Amino acid sequence: MKHPAADPLAVLKNVDWLISNGGHISLGAVGPVECAAVASDESDCLAMLQRRDGESLYQLLTRLDAAIARAWDAGEFTDEINPDC
């Protein structure tokens, strides 16, 4: 009997916790940016990431997970969409 494949998204613990506890992530176009990942909780925008050339969706989500952790642990909010703000 084959065992089911491990869930590749299970390593995205911060993304999972955020969306399971009232937070929000969105993927898609943001203004002139064709592909972005944005994470927010009830009071803050935690991260806004621009998808890099050649970056897979999984790699983008992995970076988003790390950016969420930085926001929570160090209070460092990542904004690649509006870098001058």
| pLDDT tens digits along 6-22 | 777 788 999 999 999 99
pLDDT of residue 83: 67
Tokens standing for 3?
A: 């065992």
Other beta carbons within 10 angstroms of residue 64's beta carbon come to 25
β pairing state of 24-30 and 45-50: unpaired
β pairing state of 78-79 and 45-50: parallel
Question: Which pLDDT tens digit goes with each residue over 19-37?
Answer: 999 999 999 999 899 999 9
pLDDT of residue 27: 97
pLDDT of residue 2: 46
- Residue 37 and residue 27 in contact, taking contact as beta carbons nearer than 8 Å: yes
Domain boundaries, the chain: 8-79
